[in-house]
């Protein structure tokens, strides 16, 4: 399988190239040049198989020989054996037509672990085979940093530096990053905002000499391998609930559009995905788009679901590529317009096409707290604010012809204890693996918002040889 850029003018790459390079050289995102398809018989055979067994089948055609099959199987088995629920991504029935898929049983309690735990291992494997070492840098406003750190800790081929805004991430989030005792993990608290952190990371990538000297790389949410790993749980849920013989819908709380795009990909691969609901908080650019066909940027406002406080959903470009009939030039032109004017629109025919599958939904903070309270009363489930937007959306927008709708629970409630307690009167406890989080020693360095100082720090802490150069943006959010 070959991978092509959504903007049509970057070189085609095989899987290992796409894994390591993230963003394409023309500024686009890599997508496979065709979708592998599963027959009805193959889907039926998945029902009842383990998460790792289904993962191997879904992932194999995308890797397409770039990793030896026995090694791939070993890596996948090892990745999901480390999750703290035997089902990896358990399904719970909430009412007659609605199921919850719990995607918070990885080390950092958010769905990002399902992809990043695998991607960290794939990086290590591919780099070892090539005899290369990289420096991963990224900026985080909370969740992504800890998931990336847990994915890369103790991996010999990787040194990881994560920048967060000093005093502006929650205590749970900060401790999840700073208490990781691994020599290759470096936390930098920047005296500034998240935007400052992100600008510093971009500036490091744009400093070509530094980028080459340090072999900079990234594991950001536009990395194809993260999407690929997320497709797996759509097959797990769908085949458990009657696919291919019953249509299935999903409700997904969304920020960068990576998770819900994986659901779209599962549909292209033969899973009968008949509805995708895109949930958002007051930052509702996606919900407005699916209502009107017009994508219009607005200012980001803080909410109780901070991982969805996003203005531009980077992975949306992958859907746009299909909507524009895989015409990279048209995608590039549309996004240039969007960056310049903060706005673009789909024509009526394409809007109708996209709305056959997608629905947008928005819920403000008050509605989110109400949903947490109601769900606890009606089903006994204590939801985090992101997941609550998904279940509220599912209840409101499920189409009558869909017998089974799955709401994705993207975080454990203990990651957002203040909002959950406010809504429910209950303070969720951290699961056993994190129970001593508040007793563990923290390691972090505080640096000013100054590119030269940050680059010097990375140089000093870097412990190994680098033999690789990348050209990409270093955002991990
Ligand atoms: C990252 C994140 C999201 C948004 O996921 P996207 O793939 O960016 O749409 C939703 N919920 C939680 C808890 C997250 O950490």
Instruction: Give the mean pLDDT per block of 10 residues along the chain (477 residues).
Output: 96 94 86 98 96 98 96 98 97 97 96 97 95 92 90 94 91 94 96 88 89 89 94 98 98 95 98 98 95 91 89 91 97 93 94 97 98 97 98 97 97 95 96 92 97 96 58 36
User: Is 447 a member of any domain?
Assistant: no
Q: Which of 73, 78, 112, 373 is catalytic?
A: 112
Q: Is the peptide bond before 244 cis (omega within 30 degrees of 0)?
A: yes
Can you give the pLDDT at residue 313? Answer: 87
Ligand 1 nearest atom to the CA of residue 257, by list position: 9
User: Is 306 a member of any domain?
Assistant: yes
Instruction: Output the CA 412–ligand 1 centroid distance in Å.
Output: 12
User: Is 293 a member of any domain?
Assistant: yes
Is residue 464 within 8 Å of 159, Cβ to Cβ?
yes
Can you give the pLDDT at residue 219? Answer: 85
Name the residue among 269, 317, 262 with its Cα closest to residue 5.
317
Can you give the pLDDT at residue 300? Answer: 84
| E strand or H helix that includes residue 345 | strand 343-345
User: Is 393 a member of any domain?
Assistant: yes
Can you give the pLDDT at residue 472? Answer: 38
Q: Provide the residue range defining the domain that includes 335.
A: 91-109+224-428
**Neighbouring C-beta atoms of residue 391, cutoff 10 Å:** 27
| CA dihedral sign, ordered 261, 267, 271, 273 | positive
Q: What is the tens place of the pLDDT at every residue in 143-162?
A: 889 999 999 999 999 999 99
Instruction: Output the CA 466–ligand 1 centroid distance in Å.
Output: 32
Instruction: Output the CA 456–ligand 1 centroid distance in Å.
Output: 32
Instruction: List the alpha helices (DSSP H) in 64-111.
Output: 69-81
**Could you say which DSSP state residue 343 is in?**
E
Can you give the pLDDT at residue 473? Answer: 38
Can you give the pLDDT at residue 477? Answer: 34
For a mutational test of ligand 1's pocket, the pick from 219, 223, 256, 289, i.e. the residue with the most ligand atoms closer than 8 A to its C-beta, is: 256
Is residue 409 within 8 Å of 100, Cβ to Cβ?
yes
Look at residue 13 and give its three-state secondary structure. strand
* Pocket residues: Cβ below 6 A from ligand 1: 110, 112, 143, 221, 253-259, 307-308, 386, 410-411
Identify whether 112 is a catalytic site residue: yes
Ligand 1 nearest atom to the CA of residue 256, by list position: 8
Instruction: List the alpha helices (DSSP H) in 131-257.
Output: 143-152, 171-178, 194-206, 208-214, 224-240
For a mutational test of ligand 1's pocket, the pick from 219, 264, 386, 420, i.e. the residue with the most ligand atoms closer than 8 A to its C-beta, is: 386
User: Is 332 a member of any domain?
Assistant: yes
User: Is 198 a member of any domain?
Assistant: no
**What's the Cα-to-Cα distance from 111 to each of 147, 183, 228, rounded to whole Å?**
9, 25, 14
Is residue 470 within 8 Å of 211, Cβ to Cβ?
yes
Instruction: Output the CA 308–ligand 1 centroid distance in Å.
Output: 6
In this structure, what CATH number is given to the domain that contains residue 299? Answer: 3.40.50.1100
Ligand 1: which residue has its CA nearest to atom 11? 410
The domain total for the chain is 1
User: Is 288 a member of any domain?
Assistant: yes
Ligand 1 nearest atom to the CA of residue 104, by list position: 13
User: What pTM value is reported for the model?
Assistant: 0.94
Is residue 194 within 8 Å of 439, Cβ to Cβ?
no
| CA dihedral sign, ordered 222, 224, 226, 227 | positive
Instruction: Output the CA 467–ligand 1 centroid distance in Å.
Output: 33
User: Is 403 a member of any domain?
Assistant: yes
Ligand 1: which residue has its CA nearest to atom 8? 256
| CA dihedral sign, ordered 241, 245, 249, 252 | positive
Instruction: Output the CA 431–ligand 1 centroid distance in Å.
Output: 20
């Amino acid at each position: 399988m070959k991978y092509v850029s959504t903007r049509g003018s970057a070189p085609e790459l095989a899987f290992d190239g796409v894994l390591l390079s993230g963003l394409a050289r023309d500024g686009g995102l890599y997508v496979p040049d065709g979708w592998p398809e599963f027959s009805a018989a193959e889907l039926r055979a998945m029902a009842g198989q383990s998460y790792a067994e289904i993962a191997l089948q879904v992932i194999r055609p995308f890797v397409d020989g770039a990793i030896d099959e026995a090694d791939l199987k070993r890596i996948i088995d090892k990745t999901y054996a480390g999750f703290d629920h035997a089902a990896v991504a358990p399904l719970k029935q909430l009412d007659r037509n609605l199921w919850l898929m719990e995607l918070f049983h990885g080390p950092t309690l958010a769905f990002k672990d399902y992809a990043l735990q695998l991607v960290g291992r794939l990086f290590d494997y591919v780099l070892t085979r090539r005899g290369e070492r990289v420096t991963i840098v990224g900026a985080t406003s909370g969740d992504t940093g800890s998931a990336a750190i847990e994915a890369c800790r103790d991996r010999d081929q990787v040194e990881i530096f994560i920048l967060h805004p000093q005093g502006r991430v929650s205590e749970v989030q900060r401790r999840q990053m700073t208490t990781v005792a691994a020599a290759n993990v470096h936390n930098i608290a920047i005296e500034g905002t998240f935007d400052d952190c992100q600008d510093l990371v971009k500036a490091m990538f744009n400093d070509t000499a530094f980028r080459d000297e340090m072999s900079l790389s990234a594991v950001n949410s536009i990395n194809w391998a993260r999407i690929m790993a997320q497709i797996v749980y759509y097959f797990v849920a769908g085949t458990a609930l009657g696919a291919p013989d019953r249509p299935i819908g999903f409700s997904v709380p969304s920020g960068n559009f990576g998770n819900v795009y994986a659901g779209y990909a599962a549909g292209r691969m033969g899973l009968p995905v008949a509805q995708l609901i895109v949930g958002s908080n007051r930052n509702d650019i996606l919900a407005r788009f699916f209502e009107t066909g017009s994508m219009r940027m607005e200012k980001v406002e803080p909410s109780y679901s901070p991982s969805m406080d996003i203005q531009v959903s980077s992975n949306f470009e992958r859907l746009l590529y299909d909507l524009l009939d895989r015409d990279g030039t048209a995608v590039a032109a549309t996004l240039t317009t969007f960056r310049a004017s903060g706005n673009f629109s789909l024509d009526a025919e394409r809007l109708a096409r996209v709305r056959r599958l997608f629905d947008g939904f928005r819920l403000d903070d008050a509605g989110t707290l109400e949903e947490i309270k109601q769900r606890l009363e009606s089903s006994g489930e204590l939801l985090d604010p992101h997941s609550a937007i998904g279940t509220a959306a599912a209840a409101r927008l499920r189409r009558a012809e869909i017998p089974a709708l799955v709401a994705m629970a993207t975080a454990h409630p203990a990651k957002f204890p203040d909002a959950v307690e406010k809504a429910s009167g209950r303070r969720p406890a951290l699961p056993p693996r994190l129970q001593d989080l508040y007793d563990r020693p923290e390691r972090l360095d505080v640096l000013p918002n100054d590119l030269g100082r940050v680059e010097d720090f990375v140089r000093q802490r870097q412990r190994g040889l680098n033999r690789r150069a990348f050209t990409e943006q270093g955002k991990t959010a």
